[in-house]
Chains A and B, each alone.
Chain A
Amino acid sequence: MAGVTDAAGGRRAGRIVRVNGPLVEVEGLEGLAILELVRLGPHGISGETISVTGTRAIVQAYEYTGGLACGDRVDGTGSPLAGLLGPGLLGGVFDGLLRPLSSESLWLTAERDEGVLSGGVAKTWNFSPTAALGNEVSPGDLLGVITGSGSLEHRVLVPSTTAGEITWVSGPAPLRLSDPVARVGEREVALGERWPIRRARPFRERTADVAPLHTGQRVLDLMFPLPLGAAAAVPGGFGTGKTLLLQQIAKWSSADVIVYVGCGERGNEMADVLAGLSELEDIRTGGRLIDRTVIIANTSNMPMMAREASVYTGLTVAEYFRDMGYDALVIADSTSRWAEALREFANRNGELPAEEGYPASLASNLAAFYERAGRVVTLGGRVGSVTVVGAVSPPGGDMTEPVTTDTERFVRSLWLLDPDLAYARHYPAVSWSGSFTRDLDAIAVWHGTNGNEAWASQRTRASVILSEADRLAALAEVIGTTSLPGHERVTILGGRLLREGVLRQNALSRNDGYCSTEKGIALLGLALAAVDTCHELIDRGVSAATIEQADYGLVLRAAEETASDDAAGVVGRQETLLRRLAELA
């Protein structure tokens, strides 16, 4: 079969010779590049070239391929799969290829429009220039700003491949995405920018400075903090609370921009995220949370291969905001579904499987994904970051399966969800024994320089008490609590105060869904003060049984009964608590 040339456009075309689900083999397209975007069949559905042999190529299709037949035409586009970036991203909901879902009909059939961000091509945005005619500009420099796109100032930058003198710049005007904002040398810079999703956007350098991302979830902020620009994974069996934890972080974290990638998960959850974020007020801007959020929805019943693309789309959007100097956070629920899409295609393509059917390239793919996280100095000299938090859904809750074990190697923090904690309705079910953070020391230094010198020592104490309490509780099950010495019984009590008074946090609670840094530190201080006093009481001869039966409601209900940022309210309880405990002697 020879290739045919489109008479009108002169575009290259070939023929389909094989269809097996999302795998399509084509022939006769000369000069087809790897990762080139192609259009398949009469509806021109999108696909990407995976491999080329002679005149034949394997294409991964991004839509349902039902009805595609051998002999149907296929067109090359000459460019890689790219997303259109620009104002209109914030507050929008997109599919895995960054096509807006808001303009799509109820049922997502294969006949899709090539939509253009929210509001469509005709929508205009108010541009105000900041660069002037004659300025010498280089990549990343500011050309102007857009207001009214989300709750952030949208910065229009010189693209990474452009530099020179500004020979024309638009005045303050309403512009469409396709309209030029300036001309740099000979080159016109449009408001919207197309960027190939699989290519990381360039930056000047990674910074070594560490600052934590505040998540608003105590068990994370106090025990397993995550630096801005780092990556974390949340592995856990079904129902252990991955999605709720991720949604809490999306709602309350200190990042400027949230990119929420629903990757092969539930439609009802996406509806829930959308509704939840639209209702909630953004404490920093006074606007709605949705206006600093980009949602990329590729639910489990949407085409599988778009799931594979969706995580890269999410990263690209986050990098775009990073380049403006913002802290962006990518949340991916769930990376296992993405890995399954990789496996599905590799299997259909006849690749030799490594473990559990996954291709041998799984680890390097995961590494490349998590490495797009980073806190950087941008081309324009701003500091911005992309932080990544990904859920992992191990089959059968088996933590030795390939996606979990490979992911553990590449992330800075692991927040392991423990099914026993979830079963006991202890949420977030983050295990204190199985989770880790690699950047503790650096974050301790940060807290030290930000007025919380005690953070590191308190964290260490809490972690020691928790693991001691677990060990002693196991021992007590065998020999009975009453056979343990007083100090050890206080440690068991201390473990309970920390678990129930500090680490536990009900996502649905008004006061406690979110917790400020100071309130978290105050709660930890309160629980530790109670433990110290109890040890003193033992030394003064008070019986362990008396201490155990005291009322610790002041600790246990402190989180729930004080407002999210009311650190003073928590500290205020300490005096009453210690006085009441002292009365036991």
Chain B
Amino acid sequence: MSSRSRTIAEGQDRAPSVAHADVRELRGPLLVVGGAEGVGWDEFAEIDSPDGAVRHGLVLEVRGDLATLQVLEPTDGLALGGLEVRFGGQPLHIPVGRGWLGRACNGRGAPLDSGPPVGGSLVRPINGWPLNPIHREPPQEPVVTGISAVDALMTVVKGQKLPIFSVPGLAHLDLATQIAAQATASGSSFLVVFAAMGMTHADIAFVRDRLEERSSASELVLFLNAADDPVIERILTPRIALTVAEHLAYEEGVDVLVIMSDMTSYAEAVREVAAARGEIPARRGYPGYLYSDLASIYERCGRVRGREGSVTIMPVLTMPAGDITHPVPDLTGYITEGQIVLSADVAARGIYPPVDVLSSLSRLMRSGVGEGRTRKDHLHVSAQALSALARARQTAELAELVGTAAMSETDQSYLAYREMLEKELLNQGRSEARKINDTLNRVWRALGSLPRRELNMIPQALVEQYLPEEGELP
């Protein structure tokens, strides 16, 4: 058995039992084996081929003595004769524990670094179980990403699921990696699990390089499924990542951030299996259960009453043709608690990270910021900053028609505000981590470009306390 397969087998309670050689059908990623009565639905299996390679499969259907498997590795070159299928007697389990920390593995959990396979006696099923909603604790503490645009205007809250919507070519990976490198929370320790699905080798190299420090501090687990790795394996990658994260969070009491990139590649793998099974498609060829399938991943975020630790999920997804109504971003938006939207227009203005702050929203922000969490002016100042930016954007459109000179002084101050906000707050260095105080002070400095009477969404006392005096303005 190769080391790759052993990793998974070690997660099994029972050793793979009887071998079934009666393979009847091979179709795309599907394999049908006979004589399989007694095999359970969703069981995990290993498939040996005559050349010694070991493939892995999950049972999609049992019918009489036939079992249909979804094979995780490519099936090209396989022939009906000579195959042996061994069933594990249970759904796929993996070992969990701190042994994963600092490791880099492939999309199925086999080591890519020089270390031994991650083992351990504690195993968990990769699908997890639904968390009883009455045991959930509503999320209410911030995760500080060190990115001003995010921390000030769309604060991530421990236990939240907040995706990054992007289009190919924008700096979403830079942003996700920067968050993974910098994020902290108030708890005792903070760990990051990074799951890559269908990422290019260049991107993977970039991620590994940027996260090297976290990795050597044993604060990081990498699960990397590359663009040329088996497509179907991607169905496992986020689940394995979350199983490791859930254990660390709820049993070890750690705050864990799980970054998953790119969910569009994941969904394509789901579509491929559905198509091979001849399932009736809903929209754009994606199966009707894509919503529930994505929810079974995203809903694994959260906090548990009476326990330390949290799972925060940040999926990254590229919207095909920038279309937010495409099923993957659309269904994601229906499940997650807000979204961070990146836009080419913002990138074109030379801003990194290119966050379109007006289209972005963290739905849980209101319970995660304020006195004792970030700062007492936070919610007010962010609402004011956004509303002023919306007005500034309208004013800028008008300015294009009538020219700046023809505009009122107030309108001109809004244009100045936008410049300031972009320069002071939204634009940031790729390895610059800002403290929350610094970030909020930057918002105030930008608001300082507006006449004081325009700050009507902030209580007077806070304006007195935080608005910089004339002289202090740059």
Binding site for B on A (CB under 8 A): 17-21, 25, 64-71, 93, 101-102, 104-109, 237-239, 262, 264, 266-268, 270-272, 274-275, 297, 299-304, 337, 340, 343-344, 347, 353, 356-357, 393, 395-398, 423-425, 508
Contact = CB atoms under 8 A, between A and B. Distances in A.
B448 to A, nearest CB: 23
A301 B300 contact: yes
Contact of B64 (A17, A304, A344, A397): A17
Contact of B289 (A101, A344, A398): A344
A438 B126 CA distance: 50
B244 interface: no
Nearest to B339: A239
A239 B363 contact: yes
Contacts of B462: none
A301 B296 contact: yes
Interface stretch (B181-189, B329-337, B423-431): B329-337
17 contacts: A18-B64, A69-B41, A70-B37, A93-B133, A105-B132, A109-B129, A238-B330, A267-B136, A267-B299, A268-B136, A272-B138, A300-B295, A347-B280, A357-B280, A357-B288, A395-B325, A397-B330
Contacts of A343: 282, 288
Given A69-B39, A393-B334, A353 B280 contact: yes
Contacts of B159: 268
Contact of A19 (B61, B250, B366): B61
B454 to A, nearest CB: 15
Contact of A300 (B299, B361, B363): B299
B304 interface: yes
A108 B331 CA distance: 24
B335 A300 contact: yes
Given A268-B364, A347-B280, A347-B288, A66 B40 contact: yes
A102 B42 CA distance: 29
A229 to B, nearest CB: 30
A18 B63 contact: yes
A407 B302 CA distance: 33
Interface string B246-285: 0000100000000000000000000000000001111100
A21 B133 contact: no
A355 to B, nearest CB: 10
B337 A266 contact: yes
A300 B134 CA distance: 14
Interface residues of B, number: 66
Interface of B: 37-43, 60-65, 90-91, 127-139, 159-160, 250, 279-283, 288-289, 291-292, 295-296, 299-302, 304, 325-327, 330-331, 333-335, 337-339, 358-359, 361, 363-364, 366, 387, 390
Contacts of B363: 239
B333 A239 contact: yes
A25 B62 CA distance: 10
Contacts of B133: 93, 101, 262, 267, 270-271, 274, 297, 299
Given A109-B129, A344-B292, A397 B43 contact: no
Contacts of A271: 133-134, 136-138
Nearest to A41: B40
Contact of A67 (B41, B131, B296, B366): B41
A18 B139 contact: no
Given A275-B138, A357-B281, A508 B337 contact: no
A53 to B, nearest CB: 15
B138 A347 contact: no
B367 to A, nearest CB: 8
B334 A65 contact: no
Given A105-B132, A299-B299, A18 B62 contact: yes
Contacts of B295: 264, 299-301
A128 B127 CA distance: 49
Most buried by B among A70, A101, A109: A70
Nearest to A396: B325
Contacts of A266: 299, 335, 337
Given A69-B39, A70-B64, A107 B291 contact: no
B64 A270 contact: no
Q: Which 8 A-B pairs have the closest CB atoms?
A: A300-B295, A396-B325, A301-B299, A66-B42, A107-B129, A271-B136, A238-B333, A67-B40
Contact of B40 (A68, A104, A344): A68
B132 A70 contact: no
B134 A238 contact: no
Contact of B132 (A66, A108, A303, A337): A108
B130 A108 contact: yes
A106 B133 CA distance: 8
A356 B286 CA distance: 11
A256 B132 CA distance: 27
B91 A66 contact: yes
B467 to A, nearest CB: 22
Nearest to B36: A70
A405 to B, nearest CB: 15
Given A19-B63, A274-B133, A395-B282, 16 more contacts: A19-B61, A67-B43, A68-B62, A69-B37, A69-B62, A101-B132, A266-B299, A266-B335, A268-B159, A268-B301, A300-B295, A300-B335, A301-B300, A356-B283, A425-B387, A508-B366
Contacts of A68: 40-41, 62
Contacts of B250: 106
A356 B285 CA distance: 10
Given A109-B129, A353-B280, A70 B63 contact: yes
Contacts of A356: 282-283
A93 B136 CA distance: 13
A374 B192 CA distance: 52
Nearest to A68: B41
A75 to B, nearest CB: 18
Contacts of A393: 334
A396 B283 contact: yes
Which of B61, B135, B334, B366 is packed against the most chain A CB atoms within 10 Å? B334
A109 to B, nearest CB: 5
Contacts of B335: 266, 300
A237 B63 CA distance: 39
B136 A20 contact: no
A105 B134 CA distance: 10
Contacts of B299: 266-267, 299-301
A295 to B, nearest CB: 9
A105 to B, nearest CB: 7
A243 B280 CA distance: 30
Given A18-B62, A357-B288, A395-B330, A274 B280 contact: no
A21 B37 CA distance: 17
Contacts of A270: 133-134, 136
A21 B41 contact: yes
A396 B288 contact: no
A396 B337 CA distance: 17
